[in-house]
Structure 1
Amino acid sequence: MPFEIALTDDVTLRELTKDDAAALAHGYARNREHLAPWDPARPEEFYTEEWHKDRLWAQVLENSTGRALHTVLEADGEIVGRLNLTDIVRGAFQNGHVGYWLDARFTGRGLMTGAIEALVVHARDELGLHRLQAATLPHNEASQAVLARLGFERIGFAPSYLKIGGQWQDHVLFQLILHG
């Protein structure tokens, strides 16, 4: 059964589907300026339905094999955010990476806190993961506040960790232990 949770009366967190290309492209295009300081440099094609159609199948496949859980936040048929659990490693590690963004019109409502909280419960209770990790730019205080509210602890600092906005940038690393 696909992962789906009503976060509020108007916003649902649900598993990404192969039919989300147009809505996803529109969500990224609508938030292009808002996301630019936090995202990798994107080619112009990234903001088109065709670009996403060509790539969604891989993310849907990752969901079906348990290697990831790619989700979207949806409101009235529009994608207003993404929350992804990627790089799931089994065996002795039982770990996954959390990444997310939220539409500029929906910030400040506690939606991402609720979405990540739902993902944490699912990762612990349904997926059996032991640990989640996340990374933020050092100046992304809003994202760090969301993680702190949910009990993620700062565990380190990674110089030149990800190429954001065309430059290798440092990140603050966080983890949440799901089974003590």
Structure 2
Amino acid sequence: MTISIREPNRSDESAFLDAMHRSEKLHTPWVRAPLTSEEFRDYVNRYQQPNQKSYLVCGRDDQIMGVFNLSEIVRGLFQNAYLGFYAVADYAGKGHMSAGLKQVLEKTFGELGLHRLEANIQPDNSASVQLVKANGFRKEGYSPRYLKIGGQWRDHERWAMTIEDWMEMRNAHAE
């Protein structure tokens, strides 16, 4: 399985929107991915800001398999970001997002030099919980009515990883 991550660009619009439309049922009620040209342009512009990063998970032929977003990157004493993600339905549950997340963690703690990454996940979203858990995140808490998705305030579990957690996990896998 050859997986890479890269930042999205305007030329991805057609393939991205096609993938998101095919995945709309999978994403509901967990996330609202861009579905129109205007939403895609806003998404690309937003993630070109210095406090945001987005990565497409791509296969050997550059097909889009999923998306990881780092939002609200805070520097200074905090060095933190929030992680959001969603798979493309055709590739969900096949290990592609896990392979992509490993690369996102490399960028987060290596290239970006952040200290902490947090993922807030709806408790019933077992696939997302499993993804972060399998990649070394720990559950830190529960936030009632945390985020408004699909017009409803939804509860979330808070999962996180620090650079120390990541380095320990990376070293354990290297042995």
TMscore range, shorter length: 0.7 to 0.9
Matches within 5 A, 1:108-119: 108-119=93-104
CA deviations 1:45-95 (Å, max 9, x no partner) are x52334323542232x22xx3x12211123435422111111110000000
CA-based RMSD: 1.8
Residue 77 of structure 2 is aligned to residue 85 of structure 1: no
| TM-score, length of structure 1 as denominator length | 0.82
- Size of the aligned set, in residue pairs, is 164
Which residue does the alignment assign to 1:154?
139
When residues 167 and 108 of structure 1 are mapped into structure 2, their CA distance, relative to the original with a 3 A threshold, is same
Residue 15 of structure 2 is aligned to residue 27 of structure 1: no
Which residue does the alignment assign to 1:73?
57
Q: Secondary structure at the match of 2:164?
A: coil
C-alpha distance in 2, partners of 1:68/1:118? 17
Which residue does the alignment assign to 1:100?
85
The answer to whether the Cα contact below 8 Å between 1:124 and 1:179 also exists between their aligned partners in 2 is no
- Please tell me the residue identity of whatever aligns with 1:56: V
Percentage of identical aligned residues:
32
The answer to whether the Cα contact below 8 Å between 1:69 and 1:86 also exists between their aligned partners in 2 is yes
| TM-score, length of structure 2 as denominator length | 0.85
When residues 116 and 54 of structure 1 are mapped into structure 2, their CA distance, relative to the original with a 3 A threshold, is closer
The structural deviation recorded for 1:154 is 0.5
Residue 167 of structure 2 is aligned to residue 167 of structure 1: no
Which residue does the alignment assign to 1:4?
none
The structural deviation recorded for 1:100 is 0.5
Structure 2: gaps (5+ residues):
166-175
Residue 44 of structure 2 is aligned to residue 56 of structure 1: yes
When residues 39 and 157 of structure 1 are mapped into structure 2, their CA distance, relative to the original with a 3 A threshold, is same
C-alpha distance in 1, partners of 2:164/2:62? 36
CA deviations 1:140-169 (Å, max 9, x no partner) are 111111111111111110010111222111
The structural deviation recorded for 1:116 is 1.1
C-alpha distance in 1, partners of 2:31/2:17? 15
Structure 1: gaps (5+ residues):
1-7
C-alpha distance in 1, partners of 2:41/2:75? 29
C-alpha distance in 2, partners of 1:89/1:104? 31
